[in-house]
Amino acid sequence: MELTAPIDAYCERIDTGFWAEPLNALSNLAFFAAAALGLWYWRRAPARDRPSLYLICLVAVIGTGSFLFHTFANRWSSFADVIPIALFIFAYFGLALRRFVGLSPMAAFVGTLAFVAASLAAEPLLASQLGSSAGYVAGLFALYAIGGYLVARDHPEGWPVFAAGGAFTISLAFRMVDLPLCPEWPPGTHFLWHTLNAATLGLLLVAAVRGATPEPR
């Protein structure tokens, strides 16, 4: 595998230059804004828990990796883009099972492993219809499932998680129409995926921080 092999997968990119995707690259600032929002809440929370802080840092890493991919646009930078996103999805799922649903640490761990397995199995099955967006479908369903469960139980963080599912739905739609709409809209729509995806992560960070309970002393 050639790690420096160029990748041209988005409407906005028309050459191999570093700034060939200005909107896609600069829209990653939204992830840093989401991380800053999460950190603002975390610094003022009665329970400054480490898992929430790690997720906040991971959102900043997501923004960095995505920026690298939309500037260098090659194989190694694609890994910098997708790996932090996958880590966030699986880590947040485990945290939600433990913190919001109330499972034991072992049950949350087993549930997360099952979710990882289901995600990996579903991606190739959906790839023919959804392309590279297929890998995000499991995360989308998880947001609605956990958010809906929490709303039904009147959990205070239910609506933020469910709203994150709505934002992610629109975000994923913009990701999927980037290339089909390219002839009519040359800048593409991928930058809107970044913006709304950052809004999704911001909502999830706020829910994680607010849902933490102070550790007994």
* Token digits of residue 150: 């929490």
pLDDT in the model for residue 215: 56
Query: How does residue 165 score in pLDDT terms, banded at 50, 70 and 90?
Result: very high
- The angle formed by the CA atoms of residues 108, 170 and 101, to the nearest 5 degrees, is 20
Q: In the predicted model, is pLDDT for residue 72 greater than 80?
A: yes
**Residue 1, pLDDT score:** 66
**Domain coordinates in residue numbering, the chain:** 22-211
* Mean pLDDT across the chain: 95
Q: Determine if the pTM surpasses 0.85.
A: yes
pLDDT the model gives residue 123: 93
17 DSSP 8-state letter: -
Alpha helices in 97-157 (DSSP H): 105-130, 137-152
**Per-residue pLDDT reduced to its tens digit, 125-146:** 999 999 999 999 999 999 999 9
pLDDT of residue 78 exceeding 70: yes
Burial degree of 69 (CB within 10 A; 0-12, 13-18, 19+): buried
pLDDT of residue 214: 65
Radius of gyration of the CA atoms of the chain, in A: 18
**Confidence band of 66 (pLDDT split at 50, 70, 90):** very high
Q: Give the integer Cα–Cα distance in Å for 181 and 134.
A: 19
For residue 216, the model assigns a pLDDT of 46
Give residue for tokens 């829910």.
Answer: 207
Q: What is the pLDDT of residues 83-109, one digit of tens each?
A: 999 999 999 999 999 999 999 999 999
pLDDT tens-place string over residues 6-51 = 999 999 998 989 999 999 999 999 999 999 999 999 999 998 999 9
